[in-house]
Structure 1
Amino acid sequence: MPQLDEVLSVTKTVEEKLMAKMEEVQAQIQCASTAKDTVAKIAEEFRTFRQLVYQMLGLLRNQIHECSKQVDAVETRHRRKALVINGIVEAEGEDCGKLILDLLNHKLSLGLEQSSIKSCHRLGGINKDHCRPILVHFNNIQTKASVWRLKTKLKGSPVSMKEFLTRCRQAVFGRHGNTLECGPVGLRTASSQSRLLMGSGTR
């Protein structure tokens, strides 16, 4: 990706400048006399060097931040047709696609066909203590949206669903609670876009 190449380029530039300046300061220290003007000069050089380091590290942090935002956006676009469904009992030799279709057609009354689901599988390793969630990729965003709108019909059952959010966006929900209302802050998702609704009504 171009953003990653840019980060690597900035990192290389930082390393080269740091090494050159460190060698220069080291040489001055080795040749320094006890004269006050020499000590003052070296001190000034070091302050300049330190300022350069801070500036370059700040630039690097900004580049990494922008790169992370780009990667998160790409991942979010890839996940926008997917949902994670929890609470479906797991059995050996099961057909996840059939399980999901049965759930959506009987519990949510959707009448979907097998072709509506692009892929479907359990997440994580087998655990005897609990059933693993199922990741469902739908063929189009409209089908995913139809399923998501009817999720409240699952209330009171052991089955629940959530957006397939990226780690960054999931962390936001982890901090505030994946609920519709959370004190002064409301949380919503729409097409995998996380929104924080503040008490003032701002987003």
Structure 2
Amino acid sequence: MDHLVKLQRSIDGMKAMFETRMATFESSVATQGTEALPDEYSAFKNFMLKAVSSLQDQMEFVLRTLEEMESRSRTNILLLHGVPEAQGEDTSSAAVDILRQTLKVDGITLMACYRLGRNLIPSKPRPILLKFGCHRTRDAVWAAKKLLKGSGRTLSEFLTSTRHAVFLEARKQYGVKGSWTSDGRIVVQCHDGVRRKVVTLAELEALPAPPSADGVVGGVRTETEAAAEGKASPAVVAPRPPRQARFTAGSGVGKR
């Protein structure tokens, strides 16, 4: 899917270049005191802008569709982290033993089990990909993941790189306790107490802004917060500037 992402960026660049050149041309005409541009020019400009915008919308739709398909293909997959590596190891047996003994889940059938990536850092074991034979077993393992606490091992969902990027950003904004993953989607505990699911950075940025460390929500301190500090009126600060939404695609890893 990387070539589609490159194509999307190429279209974005083409639109930016077209708008820049048109603006330069129009500025040059105005400077020279030339008569108003003919209607044909305006019609051509509008047509081109609409055509490029249509291409952008279609590419975004294709990318979103492919990304959703890739995410669904990972439904029965989990990643097991923190298992020490050993030369000649039987990864499948080691993983199944952990799941049975620690998580108390029986009847485990793995369709695939292997280490991800290359062992670039010997002291940091690579995660083990676990592809289960059925979704029910996968869910039973995922539901029991808290039993791994204190063992040095963790479980995570196998997110695409798009959703992994969203998950990392959610962690920055809402913290570890305020964001996690569920069935390939990112769940965010907003400051209003409502849980919301997102899959793109645009959707994440559209959520209510989390409160800052000093109790400011969305840039303005509430009356209740100000009164609690013994202030007569709320302290108003400048609202935060809007954040830019981004879109990427590929494959990656995310964990709660």
TM-score (norm 2): 0.58
Contact 1:178/1:187 (CA < 8 Å) preserved in 2?
Answer: no
Identity %: 28
What aligned pairs does 1:131-170 form with structure 2 within 5 A after superposition?
A: 131-170=125-164
Q: Deviations over 1:81-138 (max 9, x none)?
A: 000111000011111110111110111111234xx11100100012224211111100
Give the Cα–Cα distance (whole angstroms) in 1 for the partners of residues 135 and 152 of structure 2.
25
Alignment gaps of 5+ in structure 2: 19-31, 197-256
- The question of 1:83 aligning with 2:78 is answered yes
- Whole-Å Cα distance in 2 between the matches of residues 189 and 150 of structure 1? 15
What are the residue-to-residue correspondences of 1:18-37 with 2, within 5 Å? Answer: none
Name the structure 2 match of 1:102: 97
Is 1:118 equivalent to 2:111 in the alignment? yes
- The question of whether the paired residues in 2 share the 8 Å contact of 1:72 and 1:166 is answered with yes
Aligned length: 171
Write the letter of the residue equivalent to 1:130: K
Q: Which residue of 2 aligns with 1:31?
A: none
TM-superposed deviation, 1:53: 2.1
Matched position secondary structure for 1:92 = coil
- Which of the residues 34, 50, 54 maps onto 2:45? 50
Between structures 1 and 2, the one with greater helix share: 1
8 Å Cα contact 2:78/2:157 also seen in 1: yes
Q: Counterparts of 1:189 and 1:174 in 2: how far apart (Å)?
A: 11
Match of 1:66 in 2: 61
1:188 aligns with 2:188: no
Larger radius of gyration: 1
Q: Give the match for residue 198 of structure 1.
A: 190
Residue 253 of structure 2 is matched in structure 1 by: none
- Alignment RMSD: 3.2
Q: Does the CA-based 8 Å contact 1:145-1:191 persist in structure 2?
A: no
1:43-89 CA distance string (max 9 Å, x none): x4433333222211111111111111111111111101000111000
Please report how far the alpha carbon of residue 178 of structure 1 lies from its aligned counterpart in structure 2 after TM superposition.
Answer: 8.4
Deviation at 1:197, TM superposition (A): 3.1
Deviations 1:5-46 (A, max 9, x none): xx9xxx8xx9xxx9xxxxxxxxxxxxxxx9x6xx5345x443
In structure 1, distance between residues paired with 2:127 and 2:106: 22
Match of 2:171 among 166, 177, 186: 177
Letter in 2 for 1:85: L
- 1:193 and 1:153 mapped to 2: Cα distance? 22
Equivalent residue letter for 2:99:
L
